[in-house]
Amino acid sequence: MKRIGIDVGGTNTDAVLVADGRVLGAVKAPTTPDVTAGIVAALHRLRDRVPDSASADAVLIGTTHFVNSVVQRRNLTPVAAIRIGLPATASLPPFCDWPTDLAELVRGGVWAVEGGHDYDGRPFMPLDTAAVRQAGREIRERGLRDVAVTAMFSPLIDTDEETAAAILREEVPGVRITCSHHLGGIGLLERENAALLNAALIPLAEATVRGFATAMAEIGLAAPLYITQNDGTVAEAARAAAVPVYSFASGPTNSMRGAAFLSGLQDAIVADLGGTTADFGHLRRGFPREANAVVHVGGVRTLFRMPDLISIGLGGGSLVDPAGSHGGPVVGPTSVGYRLTEEALVFGGNQLTATDIGVAAGLAEIGDRSRVARLDPALVAGVLARARAMIEEQVDRMKTEAGDVVLLAVGGGAFLVPDRLEGVARVLRVAHGDCANAVGAAIAQVSGEVDQVFRDLSRAEAIARAQALAGERAVEAGADPATLSLVEAEDIPIAYLPGNAMRVRAKVVGDIAAVTEPRR
């Protein structure tokens, strides 16, 4: 199977062709504001490099376009919020913990109705279908087309959200609906927030995916198109356009997955050092470990599958303060960012950056080395020692158990990672490390997930049941049943609930099933 992986970054659009476990070609083109032109340019370059890429079996695109849109408050659509949970939940309505500026952009209207379930699956209140219908009429009258539906305990029982969605489709022609149970687990406010963000991004996501399809048509590629997700798996493009929040962290995820593929390692800590930040993550069985915690996106508390990442202000463009504050020099968190090639000493600028230190130490070969020849060797050693201590601390934080780990160092700032580190058995640097993102996209698989409360079962029984359910979902999403494997299972006992309750999360992945009939 030949696959094209594309990473649409803030600066560059990278494209690679991967076949039979090897990278056959890698190219870069500048990212364009419309995204499409940059992809077309990258695909042209890839075809020039590897003519074979014209007959690729699949195109997999990773993009951080949607999360940037939230952070920058751009291209967001007003959303109708439907909360199913009265008479409970009334005093904390949708948007109650959003930053004001973002809420003003996204809040198209709020409707609360009776319904929802209890933790044990009993109905909390019967769903007030008349109220849902009335809300639908008002939504139509207000000209809203994007709706987020959130019901109490919907991750356990999704019927109220689905029934409400069916009524809304009858009442609001052309409505686009996000049901919260598709996005998150227990935690109504956080799950609702994810649904609201998702609904606000769907029009942009649909337009973006149309742009991707146009780009492929322009270049004459007929292969099916997939969009990569936060967890290192993919969704078919039309499906992915319905869940833009699932691509929020696909950039760092693809980078970690790509690093795993390029190194052949399944379990390692990955350090991705760019110009401004260093991202640290933990690969387990080839996938990033997920954060089991609240994640803030653009100031909004959310809870859905995201990789567990630590970012610190350390990269090639980090500014160096020789005086420092704690008796040694300080590096970062401020960075010259994309102005590195103008402002760093080695490029004739007058800012002392981590890159200048790397060049002076002989770790990096860029710019004009003579411009840093007179740097005090003690300062160079001091900055590298500081960077080393920062990296050691983050690596240690990412570990889930004691013992030495393998560290994969990728990204343009990876020269700051020394070959020997406390708590690290060895440091690996990989070929094509600068396009690890696109490689990560190219090798992505399909997944199915479960996050549910089980009662009166042994731990083993509950996990087995969760695994079977997750497998069914993966096949539904397009996985080849023969290739399914469990990549994550976690059980959390629940205090106070009777009946030995435990919450089980499980994730199963499989390869993309061969296409037997043409896809639309």
Partner 1 sequence: MRALDAEDIEALAVGAWILGTGGGGSPYHGLLNLRRLYAEGARVSLLDPEELDDGDEIAVVSMMGAPLVILERLVDSRQIARAVTMMEEYRGRRFRAVMAIEIGGGNGMQPLMAAAHLGIPVVDADAMGRAYPEAQMTSFAVGGLEPAPLTSVDPRGNEVVVARAAGWKWMERTSRKVCTEFGSLAATCKAPRLGSEVRRWGVLRTTSQAIRLGRAVRLANRRHQNPIEAVLAAENGIRLFGGKIVEVERRTTEGFLRGRTLVEGLNEDAGSRAEIAFQNEWVVVWRDGVPIVSTPDLICVLDGDTGEAIGTETIRYGQRVVVVALPSPPVFLSERGLSLVGPRAFGYDIDFRSVFGASPSESAA
Q: Exposed e or buried b for every residue in 313-330, given b needs 16+ CB within 10 A?
A: ebbbbbbbeeeeeeeebb
Residues within window 8-37 making contact with partner 1, judged by CB under 8 A: none
From the list 69-77, 89-97, 468-476, 477-485, the region that binds partner 1 by CB under 8 A is 89-97
Please, which residue, 89 or 318, has the CB nearer to partner 1? 89
Residue placing its CB nearer to partner 1 in the complex, 188 or 359: 188
Distance CA 194, CA 422 (A): 38
DSSP 399-442: -SSSS-EEEEEESTTGGGS-S--TTEEEEEE-TTGGGHHHHHHH
CA distance 60 to 32: 18
- Quick check: 194 binds partner 1 (CB under 8 A)? no
As to burial, measured by CB atoms within 10 angstroms (0-12 exposed, 13-18 middle, 19+ buried), residue 494 is middle
Tell me if 500 contacts partner 1 by CB under 8 A. Answer: yes
Centroid of chain to Cα 37: 23
Indicate the residue among 371 and 399 with the shorter CB distance to partner 1: 399
Cβ within 8 Å of residue 135, ≥6 positions away? 80, 82, 111, 113, 168
152 binds partner 1 (CB under 8 A): yes
Count the Cβ atoms, other than its own, within 10 Å of residue 130: 10
- Per CB under 8 A, contacts with partner 1 among 380-399 are 396-399
295 binds partner 1 (CB under 8 A): no
Q: How far is the CB of 10 from partner 1 (least distance, A)?
A: 29
261 sits near partner 1 (criterion: CB under 8 A): no
Closer to partner 1 by CB, 189 or 201: give it: 189
Distances (CA, A) of 449 to 226, 237, 446, 476: 18, 19, 10, 11
**Tokens representing residue 374 in the block:** 């007179």
Q: Where are the beta strands (DSSP E) in 289-423?
A: 295-297, 300-302, 310-312, 318-321, 330-335, 405-410
Confirm or reject binding of residue 326 to partner 1 (CB under 8 A). no
Query: Quick check: 517 binds partner 1 (CB under 8 A)?
Result: no
Kindly report whether the peptide bond that precedes residue 244 is cis, defined as omega within 30 degrees of 0. no
Smallest separation (angstroms) from partner 1 to the CB of 248: 22
Q: Find the binding residues for partner 1 in span 456-495 (CB under 8 A).
A: 492-495
Per CB under 8 A, 520 contacts partner 1: no
Rule CB under 8 A: say whether 124 interacts with partner 1.
yes
Whichever of 118 and 419 has its CB closer to partner 1, that residue is 118
Residue from 323, 402, 460, 482 binding partner 1 (CB under 8 A)? 402
**Binding site residues, partner 1, CB under 8 A:** 85, 87-92, 96-97, 116, 118-120, 122, 124-125, 152-153, 186-189, 292-293, 396-402, 453, 492-498, 500-503
